[in-house]
Structures are given as structure tokens and as C-alpha cells.
Amino acid sequence: MLDNKQIFKTFPKIGSDEVGKGDFFGPLVVCAVYIEDSAQISELAARDSKTISDSRVEKLGARLVRMVEYSLVRISPEKYNQLYQRFKNINVILGWAHAQAIKNVLEKQKNPKIILIDKFGPEFRVLKHFDDSALKEKMVFFSRAEQDIAVAAASIIARHTFLKEMGKLSTQCGRKLPLGAGEMVDSAARELVGKIGLQNLSKYVKVHFKNYLRLV
């Protein structure tokens, strides 16, 4: 079994990460990225998108999408709510989304030496979507996997996409929608309910969050 240093130095590889699971407003976005070697994007000093300002993420993301092979799975709030109502478990949704993004990349880049996935829950949630045992043996689930350049790139592209989707939703509803799930989010949600009604809020939010229960 590879240790952490070997994992980070192994190429070519696929890295996968998600953005939006902790945000009341907005979609869930999962990204998988294929990296040929460490020099491919080293100039961008890619790292976890949560540690980079939004303006920097937008610049880095715009460059990365032109430099790497990647796939995005975007789940709108409305679709997310339908899936959560069915499965009652975000890890089921994440498992499918990570698997689908990875499969999309594998259609074009079939032979990575390793597939590194930012660990979000039980590994079988992803593995169950693959039949190839040799492929599954290449998959490594790693907490704080953004330390790896491929996962960091996936994190940045996912957040870049998430921010763009949040911008579209903000334009659609006529006010800037805040990130996260704190008091500012509650305030914005109350304002939006007054404008569009509670019955239409599911187009913008994840309704299983406690923020939604405080509005009912």
C-alpha cells in the first residue's frame, strides 16, 4: 500500500473533490481532474479552494479548465432536494456524483495509476458504482486529500463552477445569495421567502438543512 508521499508523487492520476455540501444556498458540484505529471499545473500552486479567496479561485479556475482534462457533475438545488427526499443521505448522492465524474474522465484517460478521492463517508458509496476490480484497487480515499495537486485542482474547478452557479441564482432571484449556513444565510432566506414564497425556495436551497426548518 502506498504511503502519503508516494500517493502524492504518483502520476498520471485522477483527483476528485466536491463543493457546496455545506452551503444552504446553491448546487452541489463534484469535479474529477486528470493530471499527467506534477509539472502540468505546478505553476498555479493549486491547493484546497477553501483556503483561497473567491477572486483568486475565479482566476485559477478559469486557467485550470483550459489546462487539464476534467469532468463536472452539477446538481441543482431542485434536483438535490429530489434526490435527498429519495435517499435521505447526502453520502449516497456524493458517492454517485464522484463515481460519475470519475467515469467521465476515464472515457478519455483510461489508464491513471491512481484515483484519489477526498474522503466524505464510507468508501463503498463510490466503489459500488464500479465493476472493474483492478480499477477499484487504484482508488484511494484520503481525508484532506486537497494536499494532492490533482484533488486541489478538482477542488478549485468545482468551487469556480459553484461560484458561477451562485451568481446565476443570485441574478435569478434579484439579490446576492451568501455562502455557508450561518446567520447571514438565514437573513437572506427570510428575505427571499418574503419575495417568492416558501413554496418556491427549494429552487435555491437544500431543504433538509436546519436553516430551512427555522423558516417553516
Q: What is the pTM of this model?
A: 0.94
What is the structure's pLDDT at 51? 74
Looking at residue 47, its pLDDT comes to: 61
Percentage of the chain exceeding pLDDT 90: 81
Residue 192: pLDDT above 80?
A: yes
129-155 residue pLDDT tens: 999 999 999 999 988 888 899 999 999
48 pLDDT higher than 80: no
One DSSP character per residue, the chain reads ---HHHHHH--SEEEEEEE-TT-SBS-EEEEEEEES-TTSSGGGT---GGGS-HHHHHHHHHHHHHHSEEEEEEE-HHHHHHHHHHHS-HHHHHHHHHHHHHHHHHTT----SEEEEE--S-THHHHTT---HHHHHTEEEETTGGGSHHHHHHHHHHHHHHHHHHHHHHHHHTSPPPSSSSHHHHHHHHHHHHHH-GGGGGGTB-TTSHHHHTT-
pLDDT score of 1 more than 90: no
Grade residue 166 by pLDDT with cuts at 50, 70 and 90: very high
User: Which domains are delineated in the chain?
Assistant: 4-172 (3.30.420.10)
- Region 26-55: mean pLDDT is 82
The rounded percent of the chain whose pLDDT value lies above 70 is 96
Average pLDDT over residues 68-86: 97
pLDDT of residue 53: 86
Closest CA to 149 of 10, 1, 21, 3: 10
